[in-house]
């Protein structure tokens, strides 16, 4: 990421620089951009459809919720060692290893349907394979979190951190736009039956595997690591305790508010696809002059909705980062939190209308507008060479608390019975799960508005 000189003679991070340098064929930008695009594409195509895939393989709402909670465990455990590793050995080797592991995870998911006939207790080996695959597939995203933050930290001045993160987020979110559209196209020829969902998702995984392999190889052999900064050697559990104690005080209110908002989102996030495909069952009929009428299944239309969500995010992310330089990071972050909070209750109560869902998912794109400012608010107070560990520490605390959220959401969504008698204790209520999530999210947003602190570089 390069810097350009502004009218006042100061250097500014150019949010479009990733694209400009890519087309100028500068090797380091090509390598970083391709890797970010490749893995982000794989994540967005697979993660947002995982509940649908698991449902087709026979998983219940509770098992899907437990899968989400298992993902929360990984998200809590991975960032801290990932940040420490990246600080110690540099971004090149760290991200290459994490990329390889993620590709292996996609491959395990691809093979899962062939294991459905093998019973493992009350479930099947296919569902077990989904859990095992998550251990690998999350590596680049969660292990590499600290490394990606540290790269931006060392590349831009403190007052331009939001714009710097806007640059990386813009390129990454472009993959989040393209990925769902690819998924929608791959779902288009298929119906909504379980076997159709399995086959379509396997095709999506083939695309993810190909991009993962290419991203890993390009990243390893072509990335110029000469500008990597290195921190001190990892000191084990004592260092974790020390880093937790020494976390900048400015992060404490942000951490509390963010944790509540993410807990709320974690309760229902994995079920968004099921609301569209199984609760509302909303598809889309489109008449095109040269093609005729296209009938999109709910699964295919969900990909279109995700693409629309990302389009809004991409259009607003850079302006939001620029606004943050004028009004501060806190208001922009709070806006993102508020959208996170209210979206669940709006979605679950939406009418069976393709147009209304399009409006709702476009609105949901506003939550991503605050991400660059949010990341700047996290890493801004960190010392140079410690950005990876500060980021890892923050996410370790947040994600540990968020761990049970998806299981709780699944429990409320699907209900539960007395394990001894089999008598139904609670029949399940998706609307209640989404309502509770919104209440928790609003509490977190209010807390951050009341007590959150501004990063001094933006004051």
**Tens of pLDDT along 177-189?**
899 999 999 999 8
Q: Which of 19-28, 50-59, 421-430 tops mean pLDDT?
A: 50-59
The pLDDT confidence band at residue 25, using thresholds 50, 70 and 90, is very low
Q: Can you give the pTM of this predicted structure?
A: 0.83
Residue-level pLDDT at 392 = 66
**Tens of pLDDT along 264-275?**
999 999 999 999
Residue 22 has pLDDT above 60, yes or no: no
Residue-level pLDDT at 89 = 64
Residue 59, Cβ neighbours under 10 Å: how many?
22
CA angle 280, 284, 285 (to 5 degrees): 140
Using CA atoms, how far residue 77 sits from 3, 135, 213, in Å, is 34, 11, 25
The pLDDT confidence band at residue 425, using thresholds 50, 70 and 90, is confident
Report d(CA 280, CA 298) in Å as an integer. Answer: 9
Residue-level pLDDT at 370 = 77
245 Cβ contact partners less than 8 Å away, ≥ 6 residues apart: none
Residue 13 has pLDDT above 50, yes or no: no
Residue 190 has pLDDT above 60, yes or no: yes
The pLDDT confidence band at residue 78, using thresholds 50, 70 and 90, is confident
The token duo for 152 is: 């931006």
Eight-class DSSP state of 123: E
Q: Considering only 10-19, 119-128, 237-246, 286-295, which range has the smallest mean pLDDT?
A: 10-19
Residue 157 has pLDDT above 90, yes or no: no
Q: Is-contact 79 391, C-beta < 8 A?
A: yes
Residue whose structure tokens are 């299944």:
297
202 Cβ contact partners less than 8 Å away, ≥ 6 residues apart: 110, 113
Report d(CA 47, CA 64) in Å as an integer. Answer: 12
* Cα 395 to the center of its chain, rounded Å: 13
Q: Is 225 left (phi over 0), alpha (psi -120 to 50) or beta?
A: alpha
Beta-strand relationship, 119-120 and 123-124:
antiparallel
Report d(CA 263, CA 397) in Å as an integer. Answer: 12
Report d(CA 354, CA 370) in Å as an integer. Answer: 27
Average pLDDT (49-68) is 94
The pLDDT confidence band at residue 175, using thresholds 50, 70 and 90, is confident
Q: Is-contact 35 219, C-beta < 8 A?
A: yes
Residue-level pLDDT at 317 = 77
Report d(CA 341, CA 278) in Å as an integer. Answer: 23
Residue-level pLDDT at 350 = 97
Q: Is-contact 357 54, C-beta < 8 A?
A: no
Residue 371, Cβ neighbours under 10 Å: how many?
22
Average pLDDT taken over every residue of the chain: 80
Residue 244, Cβ neighbours under 10 Å: how many?
13
Question: Virtual CA dihedral for 417, 127, 265, 78, nearest 10 degrees?
Answer: 130
Residue 17 has pLDDT above 60, yes or no: no
Q: Is-contact 444 264, C-beta < 8 A?
A: yes
Tell me the CATH class for 13-223+246-458: mainly alpha
The pLDDT confidence band at residue 23, using thresholds 50, 70 and 90, is very low
Q: Which of 138-147, 395-404, 435-444 tops mean pLDDT?
A: 435-444
The token duo for 130 is: 């989904």
Report d(CA 131, CA 153) in Å as an integer. Answer: 33
User: What does the buried/exposed string (b/e) look like for 434-448 if buried means 16 or more CB atoms within 10 Å of the residue's CB?
Assistant: bbbbbebbbbbbbbb
Beta-strand relationship, 424-426 and 292-296:
unpaired
Q: Considering only 139-148, 308-317, 375-384, which range has the smallest mean pLDDT?
A: 139-148
Residue-level pLDDT at 164 = 55
Residue 112 has pLDDT above 80, yes or no: yes
Using CA atoms, how far residue 204 sits from 98, 180, 328, 335, 454, in Å, is 21, 10, 40, 33, 42
Q: Is-contact 444 259, C-beta < 8 A?
A: yes
Strand boundaries in 62-211, DSSP class E: 119-120, 123-124
- Give the H/E segment covering residue 71: helix 61-77
Report d(CA 217, CA 35) in Å as an integer. Answer: 9
Pairwise pLDDT comparison (7 vs 121), residue with the higher score: 121
Residue 2, Cβ neighbours under 10 Å: how many?
15
Report d(CA 370, CA 334) in Å as an integer. Answer: 8
Q: Which of 74-83, 195-204, 449-458 tops mean pLDDT?
A: 195-204
Break the chain into its structural domains and give their ranges.
13-223+246-458
């Amino acid at each position: 990421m390069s810097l350009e000189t502004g009218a006042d003679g100061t250097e500014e991070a150019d949010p479009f620089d990733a694209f400009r340098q890519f087309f100028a064929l500068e090797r380091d930008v090509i390598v970083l951009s391709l890797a970010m695009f490749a893995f982000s594409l794989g994540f967005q195509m697979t993660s947002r459809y995982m509940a649908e895939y698991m449902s087709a393989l026979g998983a219940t709402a509770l098992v899907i919720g437990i899968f989400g909670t298992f993902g929360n465990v990984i998200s809590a455990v991975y960032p801290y060692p990932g940040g420490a590793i990246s600080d110690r050995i540099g971004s090149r080797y760290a991200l290459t290893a994490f990329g390889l592991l993620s590709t292996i995870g996609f491959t395990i998911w691809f093979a899962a349907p062939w294991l459905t006939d093998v019973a493992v207790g009350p479930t099947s080996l296919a569902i077990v394979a989904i859990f095992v695959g998550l251990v690998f597939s999350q590596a680049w995203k969660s292990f590499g979190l600290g490394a990606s933050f540290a790269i931006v930290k060392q590349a831009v001045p403190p007052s331009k951190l939001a714009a710097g993160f806007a640059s990386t987020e813009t390129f990454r979110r472009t993959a989040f736009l393209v990925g769902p559209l690819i998924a929608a196209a791959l779902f288009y020829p298929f119906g909504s039956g379980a076997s159709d969902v399995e086959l379509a998702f396997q095709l999506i995984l083939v695309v993810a595997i190909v991009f993962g392999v290419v991203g890993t190889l390009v990243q390893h052999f072509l990335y110029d690591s000469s500008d990597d900064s290195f921190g001190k050697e990892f000191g084990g559990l004592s260092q974790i305790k020390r880093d937790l104690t020494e976390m900048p005080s400015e992060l404490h209110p942000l951490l509390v508010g963010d944790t509540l908002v993410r807990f709320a989102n974690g309760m229902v996030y994995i079920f968004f696809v099921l609301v569209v495909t199984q609760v509302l069952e909303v598809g889309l009929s489109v008449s095109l002059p040269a093609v005729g009428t296209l009938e999109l299944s709910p699964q295919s239309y969900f990909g279109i909705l995700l693409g629309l969500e990302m389009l809004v995010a991409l259009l607003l992310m850079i302006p939001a980062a620029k606004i943050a330089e004028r009004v501060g990071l806190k208001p922009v972050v709070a806006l993102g939190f508020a959208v996170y909070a209210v979206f669940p209750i709006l979605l679950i109560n939406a009418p069976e209308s393709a147009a209304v869902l399009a409006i709702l998912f476009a609105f949901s794109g506003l939550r991503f507008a605050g991400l660059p400012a949010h990341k700047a608010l996290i890493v801004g107070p960190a010392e140079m060479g410690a950005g990876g560990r500060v980021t890892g520490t923050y996410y370790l605390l947040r994600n540990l608390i968020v761990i049970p959220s998806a299981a709780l959401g699944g429990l409320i969504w699907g209900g539960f019975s007395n394990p001894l008698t089999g008598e139904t204790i609670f029949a399940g209520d998706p609307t209640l799960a989404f309502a509770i999530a919104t209440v928790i999210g609003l509490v977190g947003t209010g807390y951050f508005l009341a007590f959150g602190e501004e990063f001094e570089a933006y004051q």
